[in-house]
Amino acid sequence: MNKKVEVYTNIVNQFSRNLNTLGDRFNRFETQLQITNEKVEKLENLSKSLLNSISKIEDEVANLCMSVLDKIPKVTNDCSCEHTISNVTNKVCGSSESNQLSNREPVYIETIGYTKPSKYDGTTNWLEYKLHFEAVAKLNNWSEDIKVLKLITCMNGAALSTLADIEIDNIPTYCYLVKLLTKRFAPENLTDVYMSQIDACVRKPGQPLQELADNIKRLVRMAYPSASLDTRDYLTYRAFRKALNDHDLELAIVQSNVETIDGALYCALKCETFRAREKKFRQQPKFETSVCINAKANQTCYFCNEKGHAIRDCPKRT
């Protein structure tokens, strides 16, 4: 009996010791959890302070950018990039820093690029070249003074001779220069001349149809500069049909029910291509097969009753 009590007592004591150990471990875990919560709270406070600092920095940067943009002057065609950069550095960085920056290599601002106009010698259409030059001038953002000088440098041959009386110290305006060249190479009082050239326009032997159509388009455009596009297209279509000087091509165009120059040109090209292919096919030599040769050899003439030829080829037939 005493032994059992002693055993139970030992078990109870061991259980109490284990329970005390678990209690100590739980207390340590609770302490560590409390420390961890404090650290998490500190991290949250730190992140909030960082976010506030970042927002303040962003506001300061935005204000600084606005102040810099306000101090940058607008760049015009009359001022150079180097002059503008020096003014910006003087206002933003101060005179001492700008003096140091001025000794550095020049800074080049990236643009859309430079488009070079072509030359004009007076042999091509002046109105077409004028459209080309004004498009290039607008793309390069040239001023009126620059356009005058550029136009003079683009002249060549007869066109340059037209501007020989211009003094370099007293350069006229761009409008005056355009009127002078228009009066020389595209006068408005030559409508009758252009109409006569249209009436006399006939396709030359071997001339491409596209070249003929382009030539008639140019003459019609110069003869009727104030006409609408539809009117000029119809006049070009009629003149193109007449200038073909080919009944088959003109008939094919009429039968195709087209009334535009592009449609007529397309139809004429198709018809001419088909005709050239047929002509080439007909010029190919025809070869007789062995079957045809044997058939002719066994053929009997009904006039002389001899073999080897037909009655139409009989030598005895008079």
Q: Are 247 and 312 found together in one domain?
A: no
Same-domain status, 216 and 293: no
Residues 207 and 261 in one domain: yes
CATH of the domain at 209: 1.10.1200
Q: Are residues 308 and 225 in the same domain?
A: no
Contact (Cβ atoms closer than 8 angstroms) between residue 111 and residue 85: no
- Rounded average pLDDT over 62-88: 56
- Whole-structure pTM value: 0.45
Top pLDDT among 298 and 31 is at: 31
Question: Looking at residues 104-125, what average pLDDT do you find?
Answer: 70
Answer yes or no: is 314 within a domain: yes
Average pLDDT of the residues in 274-286: 74
The answer to whether residue 318 sits within a structural domain is yes
Task: Between 68 and 231, name the one with better pLDDT.
Answer: 231
Q: Which pLDDT value is given to residue 135?
A: 92
Work out the angle at residue 312's Cα, subtended by the Cα atoms of residues 311 and 316, and round it to the nearest 5 degrees.
65
Residue range of the domain that includes 143: 126-185
Can you tell me the distance from the alpha carbon of 185 to that of 200, in angstroms, rounded to the nearest whole number?
A: 21
Question: What is the Cα–Cα distance from 250 to 140, expressed in whole angstroms?
Answer: 46
pLDDT tens figures, 29-47 = 888 888 888 888 888 888 8
Whether 272 and 306 share a structural domain: no
Q: Count structural domains, the chain.
A: 3
Residue 292 pLDDT: 59
Helix axes 209-223, 261-282, angle to 10 degrees: 160
Tokens 């249209």 belong to 198
Residue linked to tokens 């601002």: 109
- Whether residue 201 is predicted with pLDDT greater than 60 in this model: the reply is yes
> Is residue 236's pLDDT more than 90?
yes
What DSSP character marks residue 192? H
Looking at residues 288-305, what average pLDDT do you find?
Answer: 68
Instruction: Lowest mean pLDDT of 90-99, 163-172, 180-189, 291-300, name the range.
Output: 90-99
CB 80 within 8 A of CB 88: no
Angle at 114 between CA 110 and CA 120, to 5 degrees: 175
pLDDT above 70 covers a percentage of the chain that reads 81
- Would 167 be classed as within a structural domain? yes
Asked if pLDDT for residue 85 goes beyond 70, the answer is no
270 and 248 in a common domain: yes
> How is residue 146 annotated by DSSP?
H
Question: In 3-state terms, what secondary structure has residue 225?
Answer: coil
CA distance 140 to 112: 9
> Locate tokens 């009436």: which residue?
199
Task: Quote the radius of gyration of the chain (alpha carbons, Å).
Answer: 49
| Per-residue pLDDT band at 1 (split at 50, 70, 90) | low
- For residue 80, what pLDDT is reported? 45
At residue 34, the pLDDT reads 85
Are 243 and 222 found together in one domain? Answer: yes
Provide the mean pLDDT of the chain.
79
Query: Which residue type does 247 have?
Result: H
Residue 59 lies in a domain: no
- Asked whether residue 11 is domain-assigned, the answer is no
The token duo for 39 is: 């650290």
Question: At how many degrees (to 10) do helices 2-71 and 81-92 cross?
Answer: 120
Show the tokens assigned to 134: 């004004």
Distance in angstroms (rounded) separating the CA atoms of residues 77 and 37: 66
In a domain, 268, yes or no: yes
